[in-house]
Structure formats: structure tokens, C-alpha cells
Amino acid sequence: MIQGLIGKKIGMTQVFTDEGNVIPVTVIKAGPCLVIQKKINENNELKKVQLGLVEERKIKNVAKPMKGHFEKAKVPPTRVLKEFLITDEGSEKINLGDNIKADIFKEKENVVIIGTTKGKGFQGVIKRWNFAGGPKTHGSMHHRRPGSVGMCAYPGEVLKGQKMPGRMGGDTKSIKGINVVKVDVENNIILLKGSIPGFNGNYVYIMKESFKRS
């Protein structure tokens, strides 16, 4: 068994259950992924495979070290690489150049999604930390300002961790408990219940929540 796959966020839609209920889902193009490398340590305890996501666009200007890396596995260059754990049974069945598809996931199972959130640039405290803001009348001049952030006495400095304006978004985020609604193996599509971090076209990592390292 392999831990997960590399995917690409397509967008959101909705599906209807047999009872007529609407489920909002995120469409993920999961794979196909090629096995680029197998990693097994000396004690045979930690087993990993390096996967590369196959995309429609061809990659140009591949660096020589990476070109040799792909040629060793006899696979075309890929843009995104990611290592995933495998079990003892999976290590025997998986070989270099194998094609891993979305059929490793099943409907109604839970997965963990790792992605990069949308970058929102430099933001103030109201947007970034949901501050209420100050009075908006009588010339308060304190509509969207953060207010006092320190003290004049000891220690006379701004304490670490103070909520202040700064860069917002663009962080790596993991979301657990995402349910697989439908798996389309032919089109390499997985429908996941709920929202997934990142913009449309963003790369995400889909991992089995039930995976146990042997």
C-alpha cells in the first residue's frame, strides 16, 4: 500500500445523493503519478517512494542533475516530486516507472490534504486577525488601527507574538478528515467533500488517513 498521491486542484462543484441532498465537493486531478525512485534504509525500517505528477504540458530546460535522475528511472521529466511512505507489501509490488493512479483511494474513506493557502499580501489587523476596529465618528482617527502594542514601563518593548499587520496567506496547511465522495479512475479525478486550500491549479498532496507504517 502507498500512502498517497500528488494532485492538482481543478475547482469546486456539487453532487446529489440518492436522498436528494447536495454535497459541495472539490475536484482534484489526482495523478497519474510515476515512480521516480525507491528509498529503503539499511535497517529496512523506513520505506519510501518518490512520485512525479504527470501533466499535459511538457517540461523544458531540465537541469542536468535532474535529467539524469529521470533517465535512471526511464521516465519523462515531471514538474512536481513528492515522497510517500509504503508498506512492506507495497515495496515488493512497486517498481521504477510504475504508474500510480487514483484507484488507490476508495469512496467514503477519509484523507489528509496538504496544500498552500492563497496568498493575500500585506494586510492589516482587521482582515488578518478579525479585529473589531475603533470608533468611526467624532474624528477618532482610529478606524482600522491596531491600537497599543506595548508598554512604557518594564520591559518597554513589544512582546513576541503580538497580533499586528503583516503578510497573510501563502502558508502550508494540512486538513484532516476530508471525505472521498467519488473516484473516477479513467479521468484521474477525485471528488472530495469540502474546500481545499489554495487557488485553482494549485498542487496538493492527498494522503490516506488510515495509512499505518509497518
Instruction: Look at residue 7 in the predicted model and tell me its pLDDT.
Output: 93
Q: Where in the chain is the domain with CATH 2.40.30.10?
A: 4-119+172-208
- pLDDT tens, 50-76? 898 888 777 778 888 888 888 888 888
pLDDT-flagged residues of the chain (< 70): 42-45, 88-92, 212-214
Angle at 36 between CA 33 and CA 42, to 5 degrees: 125
- CATH superfamily of the domain spanning 4-119+172-208: Translation factors (2.40.30.10)
Question: Is residue 29 within 8 Å of 7, Cβ to Cβ?
Answer: yes
